[in-house]
Amino acid sequence: KRSGREDNSMPIRMLPMSVRQALCEHLDSLNVWQQLAAFVKLYSSDVQHIQSENSRGRSPTNEFLNIWGGQYNHSVYSLFALFHKMKLHNAMRLIKDHVDEKFHKYIPKSEP
Amino acid sequence: SVPIYSKYTRCTELRRVDDNDIYKLATILDVNGCWRKLMSIIPKRLDAQACSVPGGLNYAEIAGKVGLKYTTQQISLIDGTAERLTPGQSISQVMIDEWKTSGKLNERPTVGVLLQLLVHAEIYSAADFVALHFLNEPKPDRPTDGPAAHISLDLCSEDL
């Protein structure tokens, strides 16, 4: 299996706070957390948890990262690949400094 | 370049694990209430040593036969201690302290049992930590589907 073979990126939970904040602001403004949760097939209990945090005024993207990055221990490379599959190109740009340069070609050159 | 040294074996009882290592594990389990997910799947009366080896814990069989160790009420009791924690104490640590000293001699939980339960509950943050830092083993395999599955970039034709 080739997945993860080239992955030497840091865990999502190690992303610098400034990057994480920019990412949360960007993805919250697009309101895509439900699509992210559906794509990675989060269990409904976790989706409900994000929903309730969201209704209490907390960032749903941050809660998504807490669960998918925290409990499941996914890497920034996997997050980059997830954004690629969901065509979230600006989100890819926000974390590109934390994945190997050879993956930067997956980011489209032009702004969407 | 992989060191041969491992601090514990799969048969090491959790009560023999250094407090500092339990603390590091506990801070991982504090995220998103993962300790609750772990506590709620612990089987009753298990032959801990027999279950410690890789693949030794057949979860479906054990849990189906003997049932679960902790009730919702007992989990709520741990939850209730949250406000009484002193700074630097973690709720997961309270849970592990309860679990590691529970049961008869042959039922005391081991590192191997812990690792297999973490994988069963898909708490890969803690499972990866226990495999690497307690046992010096590779990270456990991931399922190919679901939230724990790896996602990778598709190879383009120019990569081939």
Kindly tell me if the per-residue pLDDT of A85 is higher than 80. Answer: yes
Q: What is the pLDDT of residue B86?
A: 81
Kindly tell me if the per-residue pLDDT of B143 is higher than 60. Answer: yes
pTM, entire model: 0.89
The tokens for A102 are 């050879």
DSSP string, B29-42: HHGGGHHHHHHTTP
Q: Which of A42, A68, A81 sits opposite B153 (nearest CB)?
A: A81
Q: Please write the tens of the pLDDT for every residue from B64-114.
A: 788 899 999 999 999 888 888 887 789 999 999 999 999 888 889 999 999
Chain A hits for B34, CB-CB cut-off 8 Å, are 70-71
Q: Please write the tens of the pLDDT for every residue from B124-136.
A: 999 999 999 999 9
Q: List the single residue in B with minimal CA-CA distance to A2.
A: B152
Contact B31/A103, CB-based, under 8 Å? Answer: no
Is B117 within 8 Å of B37 (Cβ atoms)?
Answer: no
Contact A81/B146, CB-based, under 8 Å? Answer: no
Flag whether residue B125 sits within 8 Å of chain A, measured between CB atoms.
yes
User: How far off is chain B from A4, nearest CA to CA, in Å?
Assistant: 7
Chain B hits for A77, CB-CB cut-off 8 Å, are 152
Window 2-31 of B: residues touching A by CB (8 A cutoff) are 31
Window 90-119 of B: residues touching A by CB (8 A cutoff) are none
3-class secondary-structure state, position B130: helix
ipTM: 0.88
Q: What is the pLDDT of residue B103?
A: 85
Percentage with pLDDT > 90 across chain A: 89
Contact A72/B34, CB-based, under 8 Å? Answer: no
Among the residues of chain B, which ranges form H helices?
19-30, 34-39, 48-52, 59-66, 72-80, 91-100, 111-120, 124-129
Q: What is the pLDDT of residue B82?
A: 81
Give one word for B48, left, alpha or beta, with left for phi > 0 and alpha for psi -120 to 50.
alpha
DSSP B63: H
Q: What is the pLDDT of residue A75?
A: 96
What average pLDDT does range A86-104 have in this prediction? 96
Chain B hits for A7, CB-CB cut-off 8 Å, are 150, 152
Phi, psi of A8 (to 5 degrees): -125, 25
Percentage with pLDDT > 90 across chain B: 64
The helix, strand and coil proportions of chain B, stated in percent and rounded to the nearest 5, come to 55, 0, 45
Among the residues of chain A, which ranges form H helices?
17-30, 33-39, 44-55, 60-64, 76-85, 89-95
User: How far off is chain B from A102, nearest CA to CA, in Å?
Assistant: 11
Q: Which of A40, A42, A70 sits opposite B125 (nearest CB)?
A: A70
Q: What is the pLDDT of residue A111?
A: 60
Contact A85/B151, CB-based, under 8 Å? Answer: yes
User: Residue A39 is which amino acid?
Assistant: F
Kindly tell me if the per-residue pLDDT of B159 is higher than 80. Answer: no
Chain B hits for A66, CB-CB cut-off 8 Å, are 31-32
Q: Please write the tens of the pLDDT for every residue from A9-38.
A: 999 999 999 999 999 999 999 999 999 999
3-class secondary-structure state, position B110: strand
Q: Please write the tens of the pLDDT for every residue from B34-56.
A: 999 999 999 988 888 888 989 88
Q: Which of B32, B125, B150 sits opposite A78 (nearest CB)?
A: B150
A38-72 b/e with 16+ CB inside 10 Å = b?
A: eebebeeebbebbbebbeeeebbbbbbbbbbbbbb
Chain A hits for B125, CB-CB cut-off 8 Å, are 13, 70-73
